[in-house]
Each structure stands twice: as structure tokens, then as C-alpha cells.
Structure 1
Amino acid sequence: MPVVRNLRIRPGKPGKVLSSELRYEGPLFRIFSEEVEEPTGKRNRRDIIRHNGSVVILAVDTSKSKRDPLIVIERQYRHAAQQYLYEVPAGKMEPGEERLAAAKRELLEETGYAARKWKKLVRYFASPGFLGEWMQVFLAEDLVPGTATPEDDESFELQRVPLSELLRLIERGQIQDGKTLVSVLCYARSLGRK
């Protein structure tokens, strides 16, 4: 296997969908069974989960320390994982909603915070083998406290954790939520931290 230095990212053309059958439709997502001809010419059947998309918010409070800012974290039970996870705020987009508007809405609903400064941090696919969703992470800064109004099915504890502590927890394998790992590590790298 060759070693590639200076990797050039080259977008390719997408595969061709030969047939698509809706197998399940629920309030959060839809599942399709599709026969596709991939760009290589190979034909495969793929089961794909599709939904409106999600936004992720890394809410950062630098009011006490710019060097070791506080990150807003939610501790919540996730039935699919069968455990409590520590996560950055996130949520689904409504049909036709712009991503930044969704991020602002989710941050306010879940945490009560609004932010004066917003910036796109990173975009990624959580599990592209079967999930068609990509997630946009926004950096929210200059936080203004308010009142949270979580949805009826949401139940979590809010905490503000120093970045240094989150990095220690990540290093020990104690943060297991993908969006939190991606968000915190990208942010730390942008600050020159490892």
C-alpha cells in the first residue's frame, strides 16, 4: 500500500440510484432500500437512513478564561447506547430550516443560552455507511444566559466544563459521543492545543 503525502481530496461523481423503496417512515427519519450502481460500476443494495439533518453547537464561555474556556455540556441518557453520555448540544433541523437558524434555536431551547458570535467549525458525516445525514458544527461564543425550553422527550443535566478537563476525559476514553469528540478536538486544535 503506497504512502501518500500531500493527499489531494478529489470529489467524484455520485453513484446512480437504480431503484429506491421506502421501507419505514417515522417522525425522525425514513429508511430506504436502494439498488445503486456505484461510480466503480459495481451494483449493490444499500439500506439508507435519511432525515432532515442536524446541527451541533460547541457553546464556549471565555468570560473567566480565554486559555481554558468553559464548554457547555449535556449529560443525558441515550437508550440506543444504553448509558448516559456527555454531549455538546445538538438537534434536528425542521424541514426547510437554515442550519444557522436551527443551531440558534437548539442552543436556546436546550440550554437557555443565546450567542452573539457564531462561526462554522466543521462539517462531517457521522456514519456514512448507512446514514445519509451530515452534521454541521457551529462554534457559539459570547454567550448570554436565558431560560431553556427543552422538548417533552428531552431530559438532561447542563454543565460547564473547562476545555482542559474535556480533553483529559477524551484522552481517558470517557467521552464517547462522536459529535462531542469531533467538536471539542477540532476546537482545541484551532487553539493550538492537543
Structure 2
Amino acid sequence: MATSTKRPAAPKSKSVSKVTSKGKAKAVPAKSKSPAQKSPAKKKPSATKAALISSKLSYKGNVFSVYTDTIIEPGSDTPHTRDVIRHNGSIVVLAVDESVNPKDPDLILIRQYRHAAGQFLLELPAGRIEPNEAPLAAAKREMIEETGFRAKRWTHLTKYYASPGFLGESMQIYLARDIKQGTANPEEDEHIEIVRTPLSKALALIAADKIHDGKTLIGVQFYAAAHREGRL
């Protein structure tokens, strides 16, 4: 005799009581639970860039901001916290006058007091790139503001990071040639002395440990090597 297989009855949905405005209890079907939400996948760094887990603005100033970032760096699976100074970037101007002695041209250096260093420093003119400003435009603007000089020929020499362990500022060095003296227009808090210095003397000052500004050490020696090898 054939037997029939009974399918189990579908479970009844639970109900809860809800009191109506008239004070009577009314059965209301309980809401079904939604499936468990999947936790977001763990961010992974690429081969060349860290994965940013979180970023908090710790300080905002006129020139730079400080962020506290939690990241996973390339080659690592462990998050680390980094305090980073964010800056829009700067330009450096190495202006040379080759009109008198092309073999030993004059460099346009400036001397100014630097509070962070607590002393006067001999430097190449430099300044911050303003938001949405092209680096070359910033170089031309800064040279006029700080020295009054203008140049007909411009060459990009190099780009570097002064202290990439915590400082995001990049610095781009431009060579300015065929220069012409004009009127400087420094900012209110800038007190600048222009110092024309032959390349040979600038190198001698570096060798004697009398120039301590990083951008000037890099720019002068970069230019000196290119000038000596005839690459410019």
C-alpha cells in the first residue's frame, strides 16, 4: 500500500500585540530579521601606495596642516599611525648671471633671519606654491617678490622632499637665466638682503660648512655638476 509523505507545515510567523488607539490589543505580524550584514573588506595597500584607514585633522594653520593618519603601508598587514604635515609644495629659484663670466657665473642668493633655526641663513630664493598655481608661475612670482629679478629662460632642475618621514612638502628647483634686475616686493614680514655670489665662492662656502640651508646645498651642487659637465 502506497504511503504519502507529508510535508512539514511552514512555521507560523510570530505575532506581537499592539494596542490600538481604542485600547484594544491587535495582533501584528513580527518583522522578519534581515540577513547578517557582511563586514567591510579590510583595506589593502597597493604595491606602491599605502591604504588609508582613517585620517584626522589635528591642526590647521595658514601655511600647513597636520593630519594623524592610520595606514597600512606596502609590504605590511599591520596598521600604523603617522602624523603628517601637509603642505601645498614650494619652489626654489636658482638665478644665475652669466653675462660677465660664463665660466663662473654669479648666483643670486639671499640672506634672511630664520626663527626656527635661530640664525641668519644664506639661501636660494624660495616660496610656497599657492592653491591652483602652476609651479613655474610660482617661481617667477617669488623671484620678483624676493629679489626683483626677472628671467627670460627657465629650466626645471629637480624635485625633492626635504623630510619625507613626516613632511609632505615637495620642493621644485628652477634655473633662471638671462636675468634682469628690477624692484623687489617682499611680504611685510620678510627682511631680505640680496647677495650676489660667484658659483666658485658658493661652492667654497659649502665646503667650509658655512651654508646650512638644505635647498641651497642641493640646488647649488646640482647646478655646479650640470654646469661643469655642459648639460645646461
> In the alignment, which of 8, 18, 33 is matched to residue 68 of structure 2?
33
Structure 1 residue aligned with 2:218: 182
Q: Structure 1, residues 116-175: CA drift from partner, whole Å, max 9, x if none?
A: 000001110000000001111000000011100001111111110000000001011110
Structure 2 residue aligned with 1:57: 93
Partners in 2 of 1:157 and 1:111 — Cα distance? 9
Structure 2 residue aligned with 1:81: 117
Partners in 2 of 1:74 and 1:66 — Cα distance? 21
Give 1:137-156 correspondences, 5 Å limit.
137-156=173-192
Structure 2 residue aligned with 1:192: 228
Partners in 1 of 2:128 and 2:170 — Cα distance? 11
How many residue pairs get aligned? The number is 182
Displacement of 1:52? 1.1
Q: Structure 1, residues 64-103: CA drift from partner, whole Å, max 9, x if none?
A: 1111000001111100001110000000011100000000
Q: Which runs of 5+ in 2 are unaligned?
A: 1-46
Structure 2 residue aligned with 1:17: 52
Structure 2 residue aligned with 1:9: none
**Which has the higher relative contact order, 1 or 2, with Cα contacts under 8 A spaced 6 or more apart?**
1
Displacement of 1:25? 0.5
Structure 2 residue aligned with 1:66: 102
> In the alignment, which of 107, 118, 123 is matched to residue 154 of structure 2?
118
Structure 1 residue aligned with 2:126: 90
Letter of the aligned partner of 2:215 in structure 1? K
RMSD of aligned Cα (Å):
0.9
Displacement of 1:186? 0.2
Displacement of 1:192? 2.1
Structure 2 residue aligned with 1:127: 163
3-state DSSP class of the match of 1:174? coil
Partners in 1 of 2:208 and 2:67 — Cα distance? 38
Runs of 4+, deviation exceeding 6 Å: none
Letter of the aligned partner of 1:120 in structure 2? H
- Give the TM-score taking structure 1 as reference length: 0.92
Structure 2 residue aligned with 1:8: none
- Give the TM-score taking structure 2 as reference length: 0.77
Partners in 2 of 1:153 and 1:53 — Cα distance? 20
| Bigger CA radius of gyration | 2
Displacement of 1:43? 2.2
> In the alignment, which of 173, 179, 204 is matched to residue 168 of structure 1?
204
Identity score, percent: 51
Partners in 1 of 2:51 and 2:225 — Cα distance? 37
